[in-house]
Structure 1
Amino acid sequence: MLEVVFYDSNQDLLSKMQKESAPLVICPSPLIADNLRNLLPELEIITISKWTADHLKGLGLVRARKSELMVKLSAVWKHYFPNEKTTIFLESFELFTELRSFTLNLELLAEFFKELDETIVKSILVFWTYLDQEKLVDEHASYKKVTESKLHRPMWFVGFKHMSGVQLDMVKVLSEEQEVDVFFPAPVYNEALPNDWIKWLSQEEPEARKKEVIPTQVSVLPKGKGNVILNKFFESHSTYDLLLAGTRVGLVGFQEAQRKNSFFKTTEDLFASETEWLIGDLRQKLKDVKSYTATELDLHLDALKINTQEKGEYRKFKVIDLAKEALASYSEFQSLIDHFAIDILEIIVGLNSPRVSFITLEEKIQRSFLDMNALNFRNDQKPLAVLATGSLGGFRANEKILSEAMTKALRAIGPIKRAGLEFLFHKYELLSVLGHPETILLIEEQVLETDLSWREVLKNFDVQDLDLGVKYSIKKIHEYLLPKMKEGPFSQKTFSASKLQTFIDCPQKFYFTHIEKLDNRPMERASLGPDELGNLEHQIIADYFLEIAANITEEIKLDLHQAICVRVFNEYLSTSKLVLTETEKARSYNEIMHYTWNGIVFLLDLIRLKNITTIKFEVPLGQNPWNLHGSIDCLMISADNKVSILDFKRSSSAAGTKTETVEFKKIQLWVYLLVLKHQGHEIDAFGYLNLSDLTDDKLFFDTDEAQKLLGASLENVATVVETTIADIQTMKIFRPNPRENKVCHFCPVNLFCLKGGTCES
C-alpha cells in the first residue's frame, strides 16, 4: 500500500513519525538524514544511496559511479565519433543521464529524440546500448534492481524535494508488497503544479490551513553592512544561531559572519590548482603532436609522480594517481591520447578528487552558521537570526532549458524537475522559521526592494521594524575618481543609441566608457562575458537566416542550427584568449544553442504571422538629422511594405521593464523607431526579444498598442535625444548619478565610485 502523508510543520511531522514499530526511514541526503537522527534518534534512518547500495550488494551487484561511466562511455563514443568536439560528448552524456532518470524504456523517448540533433541521438543510443550489453548498473538502473530484492520491510520516504520518474516507479512497485509512506509538506503540495512529481503519487488535496498573518521582526540593513551589523547583533544576542539565506554559500559567505566560538562547515576544492597544473602539463605535450599513446602518457605520469613525491608535493601526487586510474580505464578502449582524452581526464580527476570540508575548530561552540540546505528538519531549540544579502545569492536553482516540444515529450513520461517547486520548499521552511516569535530577519535594503522571492515570503507576515541600536552616519569616503577626471566639455562627433543610454544611466559611467574608454576586463579569462555571449547569439541567428534565405518560412532545421552553433562557437574560442574549462564551455555552448533556438523559432513564427518577405540583421541606421549611428539587430519587411524591428536581449533584466521603455529611461528602441519614421517607413511592430524566455512578451508591441505608443511618443523621443546630446556636448564635470543600482554592474569604475554617497559605521 502506498500513502502520501501530509504534514504542516516539523512538530506535526514528528508526531506522525512516532510509532511503536517504525519502518525504515529513507532520506535523499546525509545532511537530511543527520538532522532527522537528531530529532528522532530511536529510528533507523538511511540515505537512499546507502539503501540502494546495500540491496545491490545483496544481489551481487555494484553501482557504477558517474566518473566510471563517463570515462568508459567517452572512450567508446570516440570510436564512433572521432571528429566531434568534446562539447558534443558532454552534452550527449548529460542528456543521457537525465533521460534515464525519466525512464529505462528507450522506446518511450522516441518523440523526444525527434527534437534532437542526429549526432546527439546517435550518441545517446551508443551509451544506452553499451550499458545494456555490459550490464552496468547506473544510479537509475539501481532503483529498478532494488525492486528485485526480497529483503524489504515497511518504509518511509522523508525529505525528498524531487523524485524522478524511475524513483516513482520504484516506490509504486515496492508498495505492492509492503507499506510505503511518502511524507510531504501540505503547504507545498497546495501550491504545486499538476505536473510536479508529488501529484504523480497523490491527487488527494490536503486540508488547507487558514492563513494567519503573524508578526515577524525585521531589521533593514544598508548595502554591504551585514558584517558590521552582525558584530553588534551577537553582542546582545549571543545565544542565536545564524541562517545565511542562500543555497550556495561558500567559504567567503560564511566568513562574512565569522565570529569566535561559532561553528560552520563548507566544502572546498583543495585540488583544483593541482589539477589545473597537471592538465596544463599534459596539454603542453600535445602542442607539437596531434596525439601520443596511452603507454607514453602512463610513463610520463610515473615520472611526474616520482618528482612530486621527492618534493613532498602530495596533492599533486594524488591528482597524478587519479589521472593514472582514469587513463587505465580509458586505454581499455582507446590507445591514442588526444585533446579529447585530456578533456575527459580533467573532468574525471575533478569528480574523483577527495571531498574536503572546512570546519571551525573551537573548544566551546556557542552558535552555528547554516545555509538554506541545512534548514530541513533543523532542531529549532535555539533562536535563529536570518541574514539576507545580495552577495549570498538567494534561492537559485538549476533548471535545464528545453524547448516546448521537448518539455511536452518528457512530461508524458515522468515529472520534470522544476526550480519553482524547489522555491516552494524554501518558502515553506522560511515561513516556519520566521513564524517563530524569537526569529529576527536581517535583510539588505536592496534585497527587500528588488528580490521577488523575499516579497513572496514576507507577504505572509506583519513586518515589524526592529531597531538593533546600530547607528550610522553618512560619511564621504575618499574620492578617487574626480581628481583623475579631465574637465570638459568633450565634443562628440557621432552618437549611438547605446551611447545615449549610457549617459542617461549615469554621466560618470559615460565618461569612463566613451571618453576615457576604459576596459577593465582582462584579455585572458576563464569565462565568456555577457556581451560576448550576446554577440555570438546575434551572429548565429543572422547566419541561420542567411543560410535559409531562399525559404524563410520553413520550419527550423535542427541540423543546420546545430552546425552553425558549433562553427561560430569554436571559431570564436580559437581566436580569443579565453581559457575555458570543459564545464564552462558546455555551459556557454548550451546557453548559445538554446537561446538562439528560441530566437529563430520566434522569428519564424513572426515571419508567417506578418507575411514577411525580407529579413535583415545588423541594419545600419543611415542618414538622419541627429547624426545617430548604429545598427538595428533585426529588421523585417512585410508584403505590404510595413517594417517590424526587434532588439535581441539575453534576459529580461537586460531589456528592462515596460515602465522604463514607456518613460524613455530605456531609449534604444525609440532611437531606431525615430530614425525609421523620419526616413518615411511605416512601422508595424517593434520590441525587445528576450532570448532566454519566449513567453516573456511584455516588451513586444504590436497592432493597436504599437501604433498608440508611436503616436504619443516619437515627438517626446526626439526631445529626449536632442536634450541628451546637448547635455553630453556641454557637460564639464561628469558626476556619478546612477539612474538605479543595476546600471552600475558593468561600469568600468564600479569598485571605486561613490554612487552618490555611502555610509560608514
Structure 2
Amino acid sequence: MLEVVFYQNNQDLLQKLQDENPPLVICPSPQVADNLRSLAPELDIITISKWTSDHLKKLGLSRSRKSELMIKLSAVWRHYFPTESTAVFLEAFELFTELRSYTLDMGLLNEFLQELDEVVRKSIHVFWLYLDQEKIIDEHLSYNKVTESKHHMSMWFVGFKHMSGVQIDMLKTLSETQDIEVLFPYPVYTDSLPNDWIRWLSADEIKKTKREGPISEVRVALIPKGKANIVLNKFFETHPSFDLVMAGTQVGLVSYQEAQKEQSFFKTTEDLFAVELELLTNDLRKKLKELKVITVEEINTYFEEVRLAAIAKGEYRKLKMVELMGVAVVDYSEFQKTIDGFAIDIFEVIVRLNSPRVSFLSLEEHNQRSFLDMNGLNFRDEEREIVLLATESMGGFRANERILSEAMTKALRVIGPIKRAGLDFLFHKYELLSILADSKNVLLIEEQVMETDLSWREVLKHFDVMDFDLGVRYSIKKIQEYLSPKKKTGPFEQKYFSASRLQSYIDCPQKYYFNYIEKIENRPEERSTLGPDELGNLEHKIIETYFVENGFKKDDVINLDHHRKACVRVFNEYITASRLILNETEKARAYNEIMHYTWNGIVFLLDLMGTKSATGIRFEIPLGTNPWTLKGSIDCLIEIGDKKAIVIDFKRSSSATGTKAETLEFKKIQLWVYLLTLKHQGYDIDSFGYLNLSDLSDDKLFFDTTDAESLMNSSMEFAKDVIEKTISGIQTNTTFKPHPRESKVCNYCPVNLFCLKGEVV
C-alpha cells in the first residue's frame, strides 16, 4: 500500500511518528536526517542515498557518482564532437542527468528531444547509449534496481521537498509488497499545483481553507540597511538564549559574522581548495598553449613534479588538487590519449566535485544559541526561541530553475513532475509561518526588504504586525553628499534624444545626468559575467540573424539547426571581441539563456507572422526624420501590408517590460516613442507591444488589433505631450537632482552606491 500521510506541524508529525512499531524512516539528506533524529532519537533513520547504496551492495552492484559519469562521458563525447565547446557538453550533460530523473525509457522523451538543437540531442543519445551498453548504474537507475532487492521492510519517507518521476515509480513498485507512507505538510499540499510531485502520489481532492483575517500577532522590528550587526548585539544582550535564523537558503560565513557572539554555535561550508585548483588549471592551460598538444604521459610527468614540490614545501592543499587531477586524467585516458583545452575544463569541474567538503564551525565549551539558515529549519526543536533575521544581502528564497520553452515543458509534464521553484517557496512559507505564529519569536527585517520583497509580503499578510521596540536609538548622522559637488550646472543642450534617454530621465534626472551628460561607465573592461544589457543585445542579434539568413514563408516552423548555429556563432563572436573572462559554468549559463530565450522569440514571431499573413519582417529600423529629433531604432517591425505594421520591442524579462499600468500611464514610454514616430511617417499600426523572451505566456503587454486601434486613437496626443514635456525638462534642467521614480530604477545606475536617492541632507 502507498499512502500520503499529512501533518500540520512538527508536534503533529512527532505524534504520527510515535508508532508502537515504527518502520524505517528515509530522509532526502544528512541534514534533514540529523534534524529528525534530534526530534525523535528512537527512530531508525537513514538517508535515501545510504539506503539505495546498501541495497545495491546486497545485489552485488554499485552506483557511479556524478563525477565518475562526467569524466567518462566527456571523453566519449569528445570522440564524436571534437570541435564543440565545453559549454555545449556541460549543457548536454546536465540536461541528460535531469531527463534521467523523469524516465529511464528514452523513447518517452522523443517529443522533448525534437525541441533541442541537433548537437545536444545527439549528445544525449550518445550518453544514454553508453550507460546502457556499459551497464552503468547512475543515481536514477539505482532507484529502479533497489526494487529488485528482497530485503525491504515498511518505510516512511519524510522531509522530501521534491521527488523525481523515477523515485515516484520506485515508491509505487515497492508499495506492491510493502507498506509505504510519504509524510507531507498539509499546508503546503493545499497550495500545491496539480502537476507538483506530491499530487502524483495523492489524487484526492482537498478543501482549501481560506483564513479570514490575521491568525495572530507577530513581533517585527524594522532595521536600517547595514545595521543588522548593531541590532543583533543589542538584541542578544536582553535575549541571550534565542537561536538565530538567517532568512536565506545560501547563507555563508560573511552573513554569520553579522552576529558573532560568544557561546554561539554555527556551521557553514567553505571552499579552501578553489585558489589552488585555479592556479593548477591555469598552469596546465599555459603548458598547452606552449606545446599545442599534451599527451597523457607528459601531463602525468608534470603532475609528479608538482606533487614532489608541494610535499617539499608543505603545500598540502596543492598536493590534494594534484592527486585528484591525476585520478581524473587516468579515467579520461581510457578513451583519449591527448589532453586539449576541453579536457582541462572538464578536469577542473571534476576536481571541484571531488574536493573534500570543508566546514567552518565555532568551538565553544558551552553554547547558549545556534545560528541557522532556512535549510536548517526542517524538524527543528520548537521549544527553542527564535529571532529571525531578513536582510537584502542574504538573497531571500531564490531557487534555481531550468529555463524551458513552452513546448519542452508540455512534453515533460506528461512524463513526470517538473521541479518548481514555487513549490520550494511554499515549504519556506510553511516553515516561516510556523515560526512567526509562535508569539515568543521575533522578526528583524531590513526596511527595503519589507518594501520590495514580495515573498515577505506573502508571508506577513497572514499576521497583524506589531512593532517590537529593540531599545536601539540611532544618532542622527550627517549624510555626506558626494555627487552634487561633482555635477556641473546646466542647462545642457542635447542634440538628439532616444527612447532610452527619455525613459532614463523619467526614471531619475540624476541617473540621466551621469548616463548621458557626464557619461560615466561603471562596468569594468575585464569582467567574469555578461551584463543583462549584453545578454539582451545578443538575443536581439540572434533573432535578427535567424530571420535574415532564413527568410520567412507562410506556415513556417523554426529550423533548429539554423537556430543553434546562429546562437553559437553570435555568442562566440561576441565573447572573442569583448574583453570577457568567463568560466565554463558562466558560459554554459549564458548560452543556455540565449538559446532558450531566442527560441521563444523566433517561435512567437513565426506564429504571429502566420496569423497576420505578414509580408515581411525587419529589425533595428531607424526612427528616421521627425519633429522631436528622436534617434534610435525599433527592435522589430512586421509588415502586413502597405504602410501597415506590427511593432514589437524585445525584453529579457517581465521586470524589464514594466507593468501594463506603467505603459498606459506613460511611466514607460519606449513603445509610445516608436508609435509616435511611425504615425508621423504615415504608418497604420495593427498591433504593438513588448515581447517577454523569458515567458511566451506573458502577453499582458501585447495590444492586438482592437486594443491597439483604441489606444492609438485615445492616447497618441497625450503621448506626444509627455514626450515633448520630457524633452523640454531635459533641455532646461540646471541641477538634475536625484528623484528616482521607484527603487528598482536605481539598480543599473552608474552612481547607485553614492547616491542619496532623494534623501534630505
Q: Would you call these one fold, judging by a TM-score over 0.5?
A: yes
| 1:289 Cα deviation from its structure 2 partner | 4.5
Q: Which amino acid aligns with 2:20?
A: E
Superposed counterparts of 1:709-728, under 5 Å: 709-728=711-730
Deviation at 1:709, TM superposition (A): 2.3
Quote the offset at 1:57 in angstroms: 1.5
Aligned mates of 1:223, 1:553 — CA distance in 2: 55
Q: Which moved more, 1:271-280 or 1:404-413?
A: 404-413
User: What is the CA–CA distance in structure 1 between the aligned matches of 2:77 and 2:700, rounded to whole Å?
Assistant: 44
Q: Which amino acid aligns with 1:484?
A: K
Give the deviation of 1:183 after TM superposition. 0.5
Change (3 A) 1:193 1:646: same
Cα distance in 1, alignment partners of residues 393 and 710 from structure 2: 42
Partner of 2:153: 153
Bigger shift: 19-28 or 678-687? 678-687
User: Quick one: which amino acid aligns to residue 578 of structure 1?
Assistant: L
Residue 674 of structure 1 aligns with which residue?
Answer: 676
- Name the CA distance, whole Å, in 2 between partners of 1:206 and 1:509: 51
Counterpart-to-counterpart distance in 2, 1:648 and 1:474? 46
What does residue range 296-445 of structure 1 map to in structure 2 within 5 Å?
A: 296-445=298-447
Counting only pairs closer than 5 Å after superposition, residues 568-647 of structure 1 correspond to structure 2 as 568-639=570-641, 641-647=643-649
What corresponds to 2:548 in structure 1?
546
Separation (CA, whole Å) in 2 of partners of 1:600 and 1:119:
19
Alignment of 1:492-511 (within 5 A): 492-511=494-513
Residue pairs, 1:449-464, within 5 angstroms: 449-464=451-466
1:242–1:367: 8 Å Cα contact kept in structure 2?
yes
* Displacement after TM superposition at 1:710 (Å): 2.3
C-alpha separation in 2, matches of 1:567 and 1:573: 10
Partner in structure 2 of residue 185 of structure 1: 185
Q: Which residue pairs with 2:16 in the alignment?
A: 16
Q: Does the 8 Å CA contact 2:636/2:649 hold for their aligned counterparts? A: yes
Contact 1:190 1:205 in 2 (8 A): no
Q: Which amino acid letter does the alignment assign opposite residue 396 of structure 2?
A: G
My pick for the range that moved more, 646-655 or 113-122, is: 113-122
- Give, in whole Å, the separation in 1 of the partners of 2:712 and 2:447: 37
Structure-2 residue corresponding to 1:748: 750
2:484 is matched with which residue?
A: 482
- C-alpha contact (below 8 Å) 1:245/1:371 kept by paired residues: yes
Q: Secondary structure at the match of 2:438?
A: coil
Task: Give the deviation of 1:288 after TM superposition.
Answer: 4.1
Query: Mean Cα displacement is larger for which, 345-354 or 220-229?
Result: 220-229
Matches of 1:399 and 1:448, distance apart in 2: 25
Q: C-alpha displacement at 1:238, in angstroms?
A: 1.9
Task: Please give the per-residue CA displacement for 1:594-613, whole angstroms capped at 9, x wherever unaligned.
Answer: 11111111111211222211
User: Which AA in structure 2 matches 1:682?
Assistant: D
8 Å Cα contact 2:218-2:436 kept in structure 1 = yes
**Which residue is 2:104 aligned to?**
104
> With structure 1 as the length reference, what TM-score do the two structures score?
0.97
Counterpart AA for 1:43: L
Single out whichever of 622-631 and 654-663 deviates more from structure 2. 654-663
Q: 1:208 to 1:698 in 2, by over 3 A?
A: closer
**Cα distance change of structure 1 residues 467 and 489 upon mapping to structure 2, 3 Å threshold:** same
In 2: Cα distance, 1:441 partner to 1:64 partner: 44
Instruction: Tell me the distance in 2 between the aligned counterparts of 1:723 and 1:628.
Output: 14
Question: Where does residue 704 of structure 1 map in the other structure?
Answer: 706
Q: 1:34 is aligned with what amino acid?
A: D
Q: Alpha-carbon deviation of 1:160?
A: 0.5
Report if the CA contact (8 A) 1:222-1:444 is conserved.
yes
Q: Measure the CA separation in 1 of the matches of 2:672 and 2:637.
A: 14
| 1:130 maps to 2:130 | yes
Residue 467 (structure 2) pairs with residue 465 (structure 1): yes
Name structure 1 gaps, 5 residues minimum: none
Contact 1:186 1:206 in 2 (8 A): no
718-727 or 57-66, which moves further after superposition? 718-727
The aligned counterpart of 1:26 is: 26
Give SS of 2:269's match. strand
For 2:70, the aligned partner's letter is M
- The whole-number CA distance in structure 2 between the counterparts of 1:588 and 1:580 is 10
User: 19-28 or 51-60, which moves further after superposition?
Assistant: 51-60
Greater shift after overlay, 475-484 or 650-659? 475-484
8 Å Cα contact 1:507-1:734 kept in structure 2: yes
SS in 2 for 1:666: coil
Q: Which residue of 2 aligns with 1:90?
A: 90
Tell whether the 8 Å contact from 2:5 to 2:182 is kept in structure 1 after alignment.
yes
Task: State the distance in 1 between where 2:226 and 2:745 align.
Answer: 18
Taking structure 2 as the reference length, what is the TM-score of the superposition? 0.97
Name which of structure 1's ranges 361-370 and 597-606 shifts more when overlaid on structure 2. Answer: 361-370
Letter in 2 for 1:657: T
CA distance in structure 2 between the aligned counterparts of 1:437 and 1:304, rounded to whole angstroms: 60
Q: Structure 1 residues 97, 300: CA separation in 2 closer, same or farther (over 3 Å shift)? A: same
SS in 1 for 2:289: coil
Deviation at 1:472, TM superposition (A): 3.9
2:690 is aligned to 688
Superposed, 1:261-300 pairs within 5 Å as 261-300=263-302
- The separation in 2 between residues aligned to 1:300 and 1:537, in whole angstroms, is 43
Matched, 1:730 2:761: no
Q: Which moved more, 1:285-294 or 1:524-533?
A: 285-294
**Preserved contact between residue 621 and residue 629 of structure 1 (Cα < 8 Å):** yes
Q: Residue 49 of structure 2 corresponds to which residue in structure 1?
A: 49
Q: In the aligned structure 2, how far is the partner of 1:688 from the partner of 1:472?
A: 46
Supply the distance in 2 between the matched residues of 1:127 and 1:676 (Cα, whole angstroms): 52
Q: Which amino acid aligns with 1:477?
A: I
Q: Distance in 1 between matches of 2:394 and 2:234?
A: 20
Which segment is superposed worse, 537-546 or 728-737?
A: 728-737
Output one character per residue of 1:239-292: Cα deviation in whole Å (capped at 9) or x when no partner. Answer: 211211111112222223333332221111111111111111111122244422
1:132-181 Cα deviation digits (max 9, x unpaired): 22121110111111111111111110000111111111111111112111
Q: Which residue of 2 aligns with 1:655?
A: 657
Greater Cα offset, 43-52 or 450-459: 450-459
Kindly indicate whether the alpha-carbon contact (under 8 Å) linking 2:643 and 2:682 is maintained by their aligned counterparts in 1: no
Q: 1:699 to 1:257 in 2, by over 3 A?
A: farther
Kept after mapping to 2: 8 A contact 1:476/1:757: no
Instruction: Tell me if 1:58 matches 2:43.
Output: no
3-state DSSP class of the match of 1:248? coil
CA contact (8 A) 1:495 1:628 kept: yes
Rounded to whole Å, the distance in 2 between the matches of 1:98 and 1:160 is 18
Q: Residue by residue, what CA displacement relative to the aligned partner does 1:323-377 show, whole Å, maximum 9, x if unpaired?
A: 1110010011000111111111111111111111111223332221211111111
Which residue is 2:199 aligned to? Answer: 199
Match of 1:162 in 2: 162
1:224 aligns with: 226
Across the aligned residues of Structure 1 and Structure 2, the Cα RMSD in angstroms comes to 1.7
Q: 1: distance between equivalents of 2:417 and 2:5?
A: 20
Determine the C-alpha separation between the residues in 2 that align with 1:637 and 1:257. Answer: 61
- State the one-letter code of the partner of 1:2: L
One-letter code aligned to 2:105: N
Q: Percent identity?
A: 67
Task: Tell whether the 8 Å contact from 2:243 to 2:385 is kept in structure 1 after alignment.
Answer: yes
2:307 match: secondary structure: helix
TM-superposed CA distance for 1:552, in Å, is: 6.3
> Alpha-carbon deviation of 1:91?
1.3
Name the count of aligned residue pairs: 759
SS in 2 for 1:52: helix
CA displacement at 1:228 relative to structure 2: 2.9
1:240/1:384 contact within 8 Å kept:
yes
Separation in structure 2 between the aligned mates of residue 245 and residue 332 of structure 1, nearest angstrom: 47
Cα distance in 1, alignment partners of residues 699 and 478 from structure 2: 43
Q: CA deviation at 1:758?
A: 7.7
Per-residue deviation, residues 476-535 of structure 1 (Å, max 9, x unmatched): 322222222222222211111111111221222222211221112111111111111111
Matches of 1:529 and 1:18, distance apart in 2: 54
- Is residue 738–residue 755 contact of structure 1 (8 Å, CA) maintained in 2? yes
Kept after mapping to 2: 8 A contact 1:4/1:202: yes
Q: For the residues of structure 2 that align with 1:87 and 1:210, how far apart are their CA atoms?
A: 47
